[in-house]
Amino acid sequence: MTVQQIKGVVFDKDGTLFDFNATWGAWARDVFVAETKAEPSRLVELADALGYDLDAGLFRPGSLVIASTVSEIAQAALPFVPETSVDALVDRFNAAAILAPQVETTALVPFLTSLKDAGLKLGVATNDGEAPARAHLAAAQTEALFDFIVGSDSGFGGKPAAGQLHGFCEATGLAAHTCAMVGDSTHDLHAGRAAGMATVAVLTGVAGREELAPHADVVLNSIAELPEWLGI
């Protein structure tokens, strides 16, 4: 497949459309403090389990939060959160996430509009829940620009499996080999490869070039460089 044959682009959300640590760093500390009832020992243990640096207010490279589903994150957090269940914790994480201010990696409305004007079908495939994902996209005034939006709780599974990307192809009528998956984690890239799509890595998450490059057809600094790569 050549770049000129790409007719559809699927984006990860966190770390791709929105800068990961700029969005979630400070937010996470407030959520973790609330969930551990501000007990210092539990807070430290929870932060360590989720790969979060309390002093810096940032997620570390390799944190399971970067690419995991909200259910997986809740399961990892459960031992350090008093008197709750995975389902209840998922609900609280999703409710809190809806309120998190998102920091765009580039001005999304003109960026996405340019891709739509070029005739591309656009999708979002995230391991976040669908409700908070749609809330974030709506707040950025971009929800209507996507042809397909799917979260890990939408019935297609989560990445690195390819179910979400197969769903995009079914919804748009595009063959996988004419689509590209754009993301900031190896989960995104593995999902793209598994689906038979081109894979585009971006460096607006936590993972670095050396980690992502072996799994990507190209590594870009951010999605802002995508139109040039696509030749549009």
Domain stops at, among 70, 98, 126: 98
Q: Is 28 found in the same domain as 127?
A: no
Q: Is 110 found in the same domain as 48?
A: no
Low-confidence stretches of the chain (pLDDT beneath 50): none
Between the alpha carbon of residue 100 and those of residues 7, 110, 137, the distances in Å are: 32, 22, 12
Q: What is the pLDDT of residues 43-74, one digit of tens each?
A: 999 999 999 999 999 999 889 998 899 999 99
Single out the residue of 100, 162, 164, 163 nearest to residue 126, CA to CA: 164
Q: Report yes or no: 103 and 140 within 8 Å, Cβ to Cβ.
A: no
In this predicted structure, what is the pLDDT of residue 137?
A: 97
Cα–Cα distance, 19 to 58 (Å, whole number): 12
Cα–Cα distance, 186 to 189 (Å, whole number): 5
Q: Report yes or no: 204 and 222 within 8 Å, Cβ to Cβ.
A: yes
In this predicted structure, what is the pLDDT of residue 1?
A: 53
Q: Is 209 found in the same domain as 132?
A: yes
Q: Read off the amino acid at residue 115.
A: L
The CATH code of the domain that includes 115 is: 3.40.50.1000
In this predicted structure, what is the pLDDT of residue 4?
A: 64
What does the DSSP assignment read for 156-182? S--TTSSHHHHHHHHHHT--GGGEEEE
Q: Is 90 found in the same domain as 202?
A: no
Q: Read off the amino acid at residue 17.
A: L
Q: H/E element holding 101? A: none
In this predicted structure, what is the pLDDT of residue 62?
A: 87
Q: Is 148 found in the same domain as 173?
A: yes
Q: Is 91 found in the same domain as 32?
A: yes
In this predicted structure, what is the pLDDT of residue 38?
A: 77
Using only the alpha carbons of the chain, give its radius of gyration. Answer: 17
Q: Is 111 found in the same domain as 51?
A: no
Q: Is 210 found in the same domain as 148?
A: yes
Domain stops at, among 98, 128, 149: 98
In terms of pTM, does the model score above 0.75?
yes
| Beta strand segments in 88-161, E | 121-125, 148-150
- Both structure tokens of 211: 């980690």
β-strand pairing of 58-59 with 52-53: antiparallel
The structural domain count of the chain equals 2
Q: Counting beta carbons within 10 angstroms of the beta carbon of residue 159, is it exposed (0 to 12), middle (13 to 18) or buried (19 or more)?
A: buried
Which structural domain, as residue segments, surrounds residue 223? 3-18+103-230
In this predicted structure, what is the pLDDT of residue 51?
A: 96
